[in-house]
Amino acid sequence: MKNKLIPEQIEIYLKAALVFLIIYACFQIFKPFLLPVIWGIIIAVAIFPLHSGLTGRLKNRAGLSATLITLLLLAIIVIPSALFTQSLIENVKDLASQFRMGTFTISPPPENVAGWPVIGKPVNDIWQLFSDNMSEGVEQYMPQIQKTGEWLLSKLSGIASSLLVFILAIVIAGIFLSKSPKGYGMVSRIFALLVGDKGSEFEQNSKATIRSVVNGVLGTAVIQTTILAVSFYVFKVPFAGILSLIVLFCAIAQLPTILVVLPAIIYMFSETTGFGPVVFAIWGILGSLSDNFIKPMLLGRGMKIPMIVILIGSIGGMMLMGIIGLFIGAVVMALGYQLFQIWIEINEQRQ
């Protein structure tokens, strides 16, 4: 018996090792596409109601509906990005040309800059140095300029790579939408296989969670941008439209909008006097912090999962994985909460 069982056990281990090896190889091959596919699933689930309504209007032509939505999303992403890139390249070329010709100058700081609290004197001294002698200022602060340039380049490269991921994700989302009936059936079978009779409930809550987080993120971004854009136009801040657009992008990307508002506040204090800059500063700071109480009100609306679970999942997921963690963290916490509820129900039934 021992001589017979040992070869059978070895065969079982070898087969199991081969299966795990194939799974591991598949994961490694698929790994470069993991992030775009996850984003594609999130986008597809979020905009499926729009796709469903448009498909009905197009006489059930799901492929055409998915194509139109994909092209629209690509246009929303690509066109502003291309215009911004073109403007950035032209500005960099212009600055480089001015540096080569020695015509680049910086105007002297206004008199009230030195009176700013805490930072007024150092800012005034540095500003005055670059205004009086550009070459001496560059030479004196070359290490800081180099570090700032490296930081900007790394951020720009990160933005470019994120943009490519989003473009690929939109294309993948379009494919998912065009094949939504088959995909929906496969997801339903997977949930039924994993959790049995509760599979449909898990599936519905997963979809609702993704849409809730999308609505919370986009809704918060739109409201916050509106609050700050109104302040830019009311106080006639230069380039108010461009600043509003940057605020919108920052809010969607979960970056602090104070990064955009703070330079505008500094400009207002340097160019104007009276209560105007003070009111603008208060308005801008409150608008920048408004997402802290708007987002909790929008997340988790219309769901059976408690809002606090979704909020903890979104914030914790973002801290762990970045912006995509907003969605993954919320879905995982929602599913975990459901599993916890099922466990409690089973224990109660046993008692």
Note the pLDDT tens digit of each residue in 64-116: 888 999 998 888 778 877 777 777 777 778 777 777 776 667 777 777 767 76
Query: At residue 297, does pLDDT exceed 60?
Result: yes
The phi-psi region of residue 299 (left if phi > 0; otherwise alpha if psi is between -120 and 50; otherwise beta) is beta
Query: At residue 229, does pLDDT exceed 70?
Result: yes
Whether the model pTM is above 0.85 = no
Q: How many angstroms separate the CA atoms of 316 and 330, rounded?
A: 9
Question: What is the rounded end-to-end Cα distance, in angstroms, of the chain?
Answer: 45
Query: At residue 145, does pLDDT exceed 60?
Result: yes
How many C-beta atoms surround the C-beta of residue 164 within 10 A? Answer: 11
Q: How many angstroms separate the CA atoms of 69 and 90, rounded?
A: 32
pLDDT given at position 1? 55
Query: At residue 3, does pLDDT exceed 70?
Result: no
**Residue 23: which pLDDT band, with cuts at 50, 70 and 90?**
very high
Region 208-224: mean pLDDT is: 80
pLDDT given at position 18? 92
Region 219-234: mean pLDDT is: 87
The residue with tokens 């994961």 is 27
Helix residue spans in the chain (DSSP H) = 2-30, 34-57, 62-101, 120-132, 134-140, 142-178, 180-195, 199-234, 240-252, 258-271, 276-289, 291-298, 307-321, 325-350
